[in-house]
Structure 1
Amino acid sequence: MRFITLLLGLTLWCAPTYAQDQSIEGVITSQIDAFSAQDVNTAFSYASPSIQQLFGTAEAFGDMVQNGYPMVRNPAELEYVDQITNGSLTLQRLRIQDQLGQDHWFAYEMIQIDGDWRINGVYRIAPIGLSV
């Protein structure tokens, strides 16, 4: 019984540390996983305070993602390409393949809030490495 109590205590003690140390890729993947699980509240928690204020509720945020970025709600594949940092702003560029096999390219604007990475915007970009 003491072992179980000790194990539970260690698990609870370590959990907040993991959240604080979560990488940019981890935050984006966690948000996409939350959308895939239809957990809009958790997905909304990865947005920056300014994004949360802009949409007001998790439901409004979820509706925007459903209407504007449906491939993010249930992607077939994610590929993290590169990160670009300029001062306090970091862009994570990635490719998201939808369930029909079509590629979509995005830049996720990431900022740190109290040591945690948050998503501060998502922008469609031209395919990386391809010229037209």
Structure 2
Amino acid sequence: MRFVFSICMLIMLGQSEVRADERSSAIQEVITNQISAFLSDDVDKAYGFASSNIKKVFPSPQSFGRMVQNGYPMIWRPESFEFLELREGAEDLFQGILITDSEDAKHIIIYQMAKEQGAWKIDGVRVRSLPAKSI
């Protein structure tokens, strides 16, 4: 009986890891697609990746685009970015990314992700700029 229980637990853990990988891939795709839209000046497309909460605050793609361009220039025009850890919160998931901006400054961005109607949406970001390297 213990053997059967152990096998069941291993199967459930394996399925849990697959679901986590699927979530991570889907979330990374949303973030990548939004950044690509910003780089192409396609604010309509970028706005489509925002959650309904964000859309309540910024009711048009243009107001949303201006907010990102003025408030988050490192997201608007990153030189490069790489994904960090995905973490679970009480209701949402939090995806970290490391962005290097056009002036070679590095920023850790935490994307708050919410699932709406079966699709992942960006529900907010927090920025932490890293200190410049001392030479």
Q: TM-score, length-normalised on structure 1? A: 0.76
Q: In structure 2, what residue type is equivalent to 1:74?
A: R
In structure 1, distance between residues paired with 2:49 and 2:120: 8
Find out whether 1:97 has 2:83 as its counterpart.
no
Q: Secondary structure at the match of 1:47?
A: coil
In structure 2, distance between residues paired with 1:92 and 1:84: 6
Q: Mind listing any 5+ residue stretches in structure 2 that lack a counterpart? A: 1-24, 131-135
Return closer, same or farther for 1:101/1:40 CA change in 2, 3 Å cut-off: same
Which residue in the other structure is 1:59 paired with? 62
In structure 2, distance between residues paired with 1:41 and 1:67: 17
Q: Is the 8 A contact 2:94 2:112 kept in 1?
A: yes
In structure 2, distance between residues paired with 1:67 and 1:24: 24
Which residue in the other structure is 2:83 paired with? 80
In structure 1, distance between residues paired with 2:129 and 2:87: 15
Moved more, 31-40 or 93-102: 93-102
The Cα of 1:117 is off from its aligned counterpart by 0.3
The Cα of 1:87 is off from its aligned counterpart by 3.1
Find out whether 1:110 has 2:116 as its counterpart.
no
In structure 1, distance between residues paired with 2:119 and 2:91: 13
Which of residues 49, 53, 67 in structure 2 aligns to 1:50? Answer: 53
The Cα of 1:71 is off from its aligned counterpart by 1.3
Q: Is the 8 A contact 2:37 2:45 kept in 1?
A: yes
The Cα of 1:126 is off from its aligned counterpart by 6.2
Q: TM-score, length-normalised on structure 2? A: 0.75
In structure 1, distance between residues paired with 2:128 and 2:96: 9
Aligned length: 106
Q: Which runs of 4+ in 1 moved over 3 A?
A: none
Which residue in the other structure is 1:9 paired with? none
Structure exhibiting the larger radius of gyration computed from Cα positions: 2
Q: In structure 1, what residue type is equivalent to 2:72?
A: Y
Calculate the aligned-residue CA RMSD, in Å: 1.3
Q: Mind listing any 5+ residue stretches in structure 1 that lack a counterpart? A: 1-21, 128-132
Find out whether 1:29 has 2:71 as its counterpart.
no
Q: In structure 2, what residue type is equivalent to 1:53?
A: K
